[in-house]
Amino acid sequence: MRKFKLQLQVSVDGYMAGPDGRMDWMTTPWTDDVDAYADKISESVDCIVLGRRLAEGFIPAWQAGPEGETQESIDWMNTTPKVVISNSLTESPWDNAVVAGGDLAETVAELKARPGGDLITYGGAALARELIAKGLLDELHLFVNPVALGTGTPVFPAGDSYHRLRLVGSQSFDCGITALHLEPERS
């Protein structure tokens, strides 16, 4: 069965966005060693899963060919099929993307049961927290930036349950970012 991976940049205090959803704290330029690590995560991936709000910026940005990205990365992001999780859209306004709504657990189970490579999500925030809360992820890859925000959008959902994780590996990079590879502990 396909694995479902989450890849996010986070602050050292566990936020994926600052106050009011600000992302201006992600100023650490990725070095070649971080790029190589991220490429390794996506080698087995053949489907990107995104929340609607993230898709609205993510897909057009990659279609425009963001400055500083390699053509290989741009091509991979644009040619890899995408599933946009949304209960407000009925059809996709983007090329190479379909919309899936309804029960998230059922949608993820159906995607994982299909033949093919692994799935990856880069968020958005609401989708990432819901995937974590419902135990739908197989791997979490958190790129911890050397900045503390104090407040913002947390990676992990608030609630009365713990999210027990097993550290599979960690790696620090020349730019100061540290990657944590975690897997949920299943009971």
pLDDT value of position 29: 86
pLDDT value of position 172: 96
The vertex-99 CA angle with 51 and 130, nearest 5°, equals 35
CATH superfamily, with its number, for domain 4-184: Dihydrofolate Reductase, subunit A (3.40.430.10)
pLDDT value of position 168: 97
Mean per-residue pLDDT over the chain, rounded: 93
Which amino acid belongs to residue 33? D
Among 46, 12, 3, 19, CA closest to 125: 19
pLDDT value of position 21: 87
pLDDT value of position 25: 92
Q: Is the peptide bond before 68 cis (omega within 30 degrees of 0)?
A: no
CB count in 10 Å sphere of residue 88: 8
pLDDT value of position 124: 86
Percent of the chain with pLDDT over 70: 99
Q: Which residues of the chain have pLDDT under 70?
A: 160
**Which backbone phi and psi does 30 adopt, to 5 degrees?**
-70, 135
Cα 59 from Cα 67, distance rounded (Å): 15
CB-based contact 120:49 (threshold 8 Å) = yes
Query: CA quadruple 32, 33, 36, 42: dihedral positive or negative?
Result: negative
Cα 103 from Cα 122, distance rounded (Å): 20
Cα 35 from Cα 54, distance rounded (Å): 21
Instruction: Give me the torsion for CA of 39, 84, 101, 120, rounded to 10°.
Output: 0
